[in-house]
Amino acid sequence: MSDALYFRVSSDRQTTENQFEEVLREQYKLNGWDRDREITGDLAELQSAVIETYSPTAKDKDRIIWKANKPVIDSLAEKCVYVEQGKSSKTGSVRPLFELMKRDAILGRFDRLIVWKISRLGRDMREVLNTVYELADLGVTVYPVKSQTGPITSSMGKLLWALMSWQAEMENVERSEAINAGLKRARAAGKDLGRPRSVFDRDKAVSLHQTGLSNAVIARELGTSEATIRRVLVASGAYSPSVKNIPPKKPKNPLKESRLYVGAPPVHSK
């Protein structure tokens, strides 16, 4: 039996590294491999798929940002190991490696998919079950490490998958409600939410603009983005966005546009 591994997190503030060792150890256990001797090399390759970087904030603190190491991820995908980092959404989102995994299943590259949790397969019960049924039709068994489900082709497996996918959806709903309630309390308390405000001398930005410097040069000088400089200048009245010259539309041909003719229709000579 050939295996495929699928890892996913929903934002760059999370890392798939937490899922790596558990999924690998479960794969080694299912195949009867020597876990202690061989797992080290595979784990090191997986860990290199995400890179830890730091982004400064307005409070002079470094925020950890996890970035995908694309060359390593592409190399792992060739081995049916899919490491994905993408923004999740209730209405669904584009997951390139998830779609690649399903295409590889159609090609028969593996017959067992190992994931960390059921929630890695979708945001709600319907999406999870549709994915599991679709893979089952291709001869692929889905094995979630954190849940005891069994094959969905059996009667007991159908019941367990329905219960576990419903539970995963409820956990997502409760988590979202808790976050929204916390944001509401923070707004009521007068706390600033959202992305931290860029800290730089706005008066200096206006004075540099008046000397004739471009927005790009001002942004580099003050350590911020060009779009932020543009918003500051517009708010101060020192800059007005240019309006592009839009050419006038060509007059319509009345004979070509009209479907009704007075008298005989026009005769077109060959």
Instruction: Report the 3 state secondary structure along 79-95.
Output: CCEEEEECCCCCCCCCC
Task: Read off the tokens for 39.
Answer: 């797992």
The confidence score (pLDDT) of residue 161 equals 87
The confidence score (pLDDT) of residue 138 equals 92
Q: Checking DSSP bridges between strand 50-56 and strand 62-68, what pairing results, if any?
A: antiparallel
Give the SS3 label for residue 246: coil
The confidence score (pLDDT) of residue 107 equals 93
- Tell me the C-alpha distance between 93 and 9, whole Å: 13
The confidence score (pLDDT) of residue 240 equals 66
Tell me: the pLDDT tens digits for 197-232? 666 778 888 888 888 888 888 888 887 888 888 888
- Single-letter amino acid code for the residue at 182: G
Q: Which residues of the chain have pLDDT under 70?
A: 1, 10-17, 35-41, 55-63, 86-93, 192-199, 239-270
- Tell me the C-alpha distance between 244 and 248, whole Å: 12
Burial label, 161 (beta-carbon count in 10 A; 0-12, 13-18, 19+): buried
Domain ranges of the chain: 3-170, 202-236
The confidence score (pLDDT) of residue 195 equals 61
Please say whether the structural domain 3-170 has been given the CATH code 3.50.50.60: no
CA dist list (Å): 150 to 29, 37, 61, 130, 227: 16, 29, 46, 16, 52
The confidence score (pLDDT) of residue 236 equals 81
CB atoms within 10 A of CB 255: 9
187-212 as b/e, with b when 16 or more CB fall inside 10 Å? eeeeeeeeeeeeebebeebbebbeee
Whether the Cβ atoms of residue 28 and residue 39 lie closer than 8 Å to each other? yes
